[in-house]
Amino acid sequence: MLISTNVYPRDLESLLNALPEIKPNEIDLIAAAYQRADSAHSGQQRKSGEPYLTHCVAVAGILAEMKLDSETIAAGLLHDVAEDSDVSVDALRAEFGTTIAKLVDGVTKLKNLPLKNVSPLGDSRRSSAVNREMEYIRKMLLTMGDDVRVVLVKLADRLHNMRTLGYMPRNKQQAVARETMDIFAPLANRLGIWQMKWELEDLSFRYLNPDAYRSIAKALDERRDERERYIGGIKDRLTRELRKANINRVTISARPKHIYSIYNKMSKKDLPLEQIYDIRGMRVLVDSLEQCYLALGIAHNLWRPIPGEFDDYIANPKDNFYRSLHTAVHDDAGKTVEVQIRTWEMHEDAEYGIAAHWRYKEGGNGHDQAFEQRLAYLRRLMEFGPEVNDASQFVDTVKSEVFQDRVYSVTPNGDIIDLPAGATPIDFAYHIHTDIGNRCRGAKVNGRLVPLNYKLNMGDQVVILTAKRGGPSMDWLNPDLEYAITSRARTKIRHWLRKQNRDNHIAMGREVLERELKRLGVLEKVTFESVARLLNYDKLEDFQAAIGAGDVTGSQITNRVLEDERRKSAESLSDDELLKPRTKRTGGSVAKGVSIMGAGGLLVNLARCCGPMPGDDIIGYITRGRGVTVHRGDCPNILAMRENERLIDVAWGTEEEEHRYVVPVEVVAYDREGLLGDISTIIAEQRVNIASVDVYTRNQIATLNLQLEIASNKQLTRILSKIDLVPNVVEARRRNTS
């Protein structure tokens, strides 16, 4: 027997060596678990061809690196035994005790949830049934309230599976990577396990966007020598200055380069790789809190700090209890470098999170106070009101409230309000009290009035302005307008709207329905009843009432109408035409992705009078000497010549690259100074070009005729919604020109 002879296989010996403080009885426990796993998985192989036991040992090794207790490491060795062999949980309980059996059983139940179809880009549609993603999140969060080690074992299992994902087929790689990015990496972040979080993200990103991953990895590798020399010089200079200040026990190292984090910063800030601060980053570890701030002062004295790039996560820890000082500075040559400063204790806490606070006591189990605080925090995040009453809503709430980055704002009394990043004053109001949210009519942030969809920043002081009566607006639920982003606020808004009078709901719904169809330019082309059927409502009044109650949003209406238009266009094509669309470029507009039925090789132009774009019903007109001009089906110029023999059937084909279409838009507003500038700013923020603009003013009413270069109907709807919010604007809509 292994235990009696103390002669261990090499992989088990390496595992035990990773636990220098382990006691003899704990060695026996881990060795027995190894032996049981070895016999249970005998003859089984991984996709790589390696014995299955290598996975079990690797999972236990990850748990050992996290400095978890011997029972958790034993559970890591045994985590697949109950599922993949004839050894039952009851047999494990008899051999290893209740705790280990319970951990193995918990991991097994998490693994045996029903499968879910996951697209590589995460765009799969949710069915009405509870999918795997929902069940995973709910079960994991509930499990944490019982024994968080079940989740830690599962995370270790997923991490090793991601490290060896290259042996799986391509479709499996992408499905597992998407699930890891959506569920497991955010979960590791919530538990404060930074080391695991970033590796899960990078490994997922490698399979979800391999081209971007390879590009960044190659650029980092090519500049590694230069970067190491640079950081070495910075490190030596800072070390000398710290020692002059009697900070002698200090460790300074280059920060690991996390490819997914770099990609996100490049995308969000639209910056090239060389302008991302933490490409050149270092971490400073010192002994005490006082030394952290002293080191920060020395760094700022040596190099010029960059405004807006300092974060004190020691005074204001992140919601996952992360503590550190972050700053970015310009060196003498003008290069940027990011510096993180923390104590050794803070560093261990940041790397291992909740696992760093797990301790076993002699004669029983228990954990330190920090562990209890973390667990209490996670439990509080799961305590939602009675409005959250179904599985889908529960998971949406949890993902919003738990899995997002956080922002801390302050009430006038100095109370700190913890909200997800991107939260607005409406989210803030509902967090304080439901009634305050319902009666919210405005907000002041740091003493100045802001729009209700203003994005709160860290440290903002917020004052909510309320009315004596009234309730929330339906527009608060429109995702394109971004008024309320937390599930808590959106749930309470829907709850209030449902309680209102049905007649009011119907009237409000009719108004919203008419407005959305008018924005799309299809108001006279489709009936309200047909749109109701598209969204699975048999009666128009029920449909309008659902819109008025907030159960159906304007964006849902828009998306379904556009989907139906595209479907009709596709059905009008024969199979051969769908496979071989004929497209031509013109000297002016580029009519890409237009299939001409029964007539190839013709010059194709998009009509300027109605500005057709993909998703519109279209028809062609054969001109004299200028090929075919494509119009919208409801264009007034075409309606006047329906029987003309020069009309020809056309339809949208397929196209690989993004193309922009000139779309006419009309904005009616009460004239004021700066009106055109405000509208232009909104359009620019959406990265849309204004091809032309004409402004007519009469009796203080301004009419703006804009030609916008739009990529999609969805983008057009978003722009029109945002223009509608501009002060003095009466209406913004797509228009036909005769």
Stretch 706-715: mean pLDDT: 80
CA end-to-end distance (rounded Å), the chain: 92
Instruction: Residue count of the chain, please give it.
Output: 738
Q: How far is CA 394 from CA 128, 135, 178, 308, 385, in A?
A: 14, 10, 21, 36, 10
Phi and psi of 125, rounded to 5°? -80, 140
CA separation for the pair 714, 241 (Å, rounded): 56
Any idea where the domains of the chain sit in the sequence? 2-215, 221-354, 404-496, 500-550, 572-652, 661-734
Regarding the domain delimited by 2-215, which CATH topology (the fold level of the hierarchy) does it fall under? Answer: Hypothetical protein af1432 (1.10.3210)
Q: What angle do CA 241, 247, 250 make, to 5 degrees?
A: 95
pLDDT of 722 higher than 90: no
pLDDT of 493 higher than 60: yes
Handedness of CA 23, 25, 29, 32 (dihedral sign): positive
pLDDT of 131 higher than 60: no
Per-residue pLDDT band for 594 (boundaries 50, 70, 90) equals low
Structure tokens at 322: 């992360």
pLDDT of 434 higher than 60: yes
Of the spans 438-447, 473-482, 671-680, which averages the highest pLDDT? Answer: 438-447
Q: Per mean pLDDT, which range of 30-34, 345-349, 351-355, 559-563 is the poorest?
A: 351-355
pLDDT of 86 higher than 50: yes
Per-residue pLDDT band for 59 (boundaries 50, 70, 90) equals very high
Active site residues: 83-84
Stretch 318-339: mean pLDDT: 83
The better pLDDT of the pair 737, 60 is held by: 60
The better pLDDT of the pair 725, 440 is held by: 440
- What dihedral angle (degrees, nearest 10) is formed by the CA atoms of 651, 656, 662, 663? 60
Beta-carbon count within 10 A of 446 CB: 12
CA separation for the pair 473, 550 (Å, rounded): 9
What does the pLDDT read at residue 158? 92
Q: What is the pLDDT of residues 660-687, one digit of tens each?
A: 778 888 899 888 888 888 888 888 888 8
SS3 state at 608: coil
Of the spans 204-208, 381-385, 483-487, which averages the highest pLDDT? Answer: 204-208
Same fold, 404-496 and 661-734: no
Q: Per mean pLDDT, which range of 5-9, 297-301, 308-312, 585-589 is the poorest?
A: 585-589
The better pLDDT of the pair 355, 495 is held by: 495
295, 341 contact by CB (below 8 A): yes
The better pLDDT of the pair 360, 111 is held by: 111
Beta-carbon count within 10 A of 22 CB: 17
CA separation for the pair 596, 627 (Å, rounded): 11
User: Parallel, antiparallel, or unpaired: how do β-strands 604-606 and 594-596 relate?
Assistant: unpaired
The runs of H, that is alpha helices, within 270-312 are 289-302
Element (H, E) at 703: strand 701-710
Stretch 492-498: mean pLDDT: 84
SS3 state at 501: coil
**Residue whose token pair is 């997923």:** 158
Please, what's the largest Cα pairwise distance for the chain? 100
Report CA Rg, the chain.
31
Stretch 535-560: mean pLDDT: 82
Phi and psi of 655, rounded to 5°? -150, 140
What does the pLDDT read at residue 373? 60
Per-residue pLDDT band for 384 (boundaries 50, 70, 90) equals very low
pLDDT of 363 higher than 60: no
Q: What is the pLDDT of residues 97-113, one digit of tens each?
A: 988 998 888 888 776 55
What does the pLDDT read at residue 194? 82
Percentage of the residues of the chain whose pLDDT score is greater than 90: 17
Of the spans 152-161, 403-412, 494-503, which averages the highest pLDDT? Answer: 152-161
What does the pLDDT read at residue 718? 80
626, 605 contact by CB (below 8 A): yes
Q: What is the pLDDT of residues 154-178, one digit of tens each?
A: 899 999 999 999 988 888 898 889 8
The better pLDDT of the pair 618, 712 is held by: 618
Nearest alpha carbon to residue 76 among 94, 55, 56, 96 = 56
CA separation for the pair 141, 381 (Å, rounded): 10
Q: What is the pLDDT of residues 502-525, one digit of tens each?
A: 778 888 888 888 888 877 777 777
**Residue whose token pair is 């008024």:** 483
What does the pLDDT read at residue 152? 87
- Helices 89-96, 98-111: axis angle to 10 degrees equals 150
Nearest alpha carbon to residue 357 among 554, 148, 528, 502 = 148
Phi and psi of 366, rounded to 5°? -170, 170
What does the pLDDT read at residue 492? 87
Percentage of the residues of the chain whose pLDDT score is greater than 70: 77
Q: What is the pLDDT of residues 112-126, one digit of tens each?
A: 554 444 433 333 333
CA separation for the pair 591, 673 (Å, rounded): 38
Per-residue pLDDT band for 204 (boundaries 50, 70, 90) equals very high
Q: Does domain 661-734 have CATH number 1.10.4000.10?
A: no
650, 595 contact by CB (below 8 A): yes
CATH of 404-496, one of 3.10.20.30, 3.30.1950.10, 3.90.640.10, 3.40.50.720: 3.10.20.30
Phi and psi of 250, rounded to 5°? -140, 140
Element (H, E) at 242: helix 224-244
Mean pLDDT across the chain: 77
pLDDT of 279 higher than 90: no
What does the pLDDT read at residue 142? 58
Regarding the domain delimited by 221-354, which CATH topology (the fold level of the hierarchy) does it fall under? Answer: Beta Polymerase; domain 2 (3.30.460)
Q: Per mean pLDDT, which range of 106-120, 221-235, 565-579 is the poorest?
A: 565-579
Q: What is the pLDDT of residues 617-665, one digit of tens each?
A: 788 887 766 677 888 877 877 777 655 677 777 777 654 445 677 888 8
What does the pLDDT read at residue 2? 40
pLDDT of 535 higher than 70: yes
Structure tokens at 48: 């790589």
Element (H, E) at 410: strand 406-410
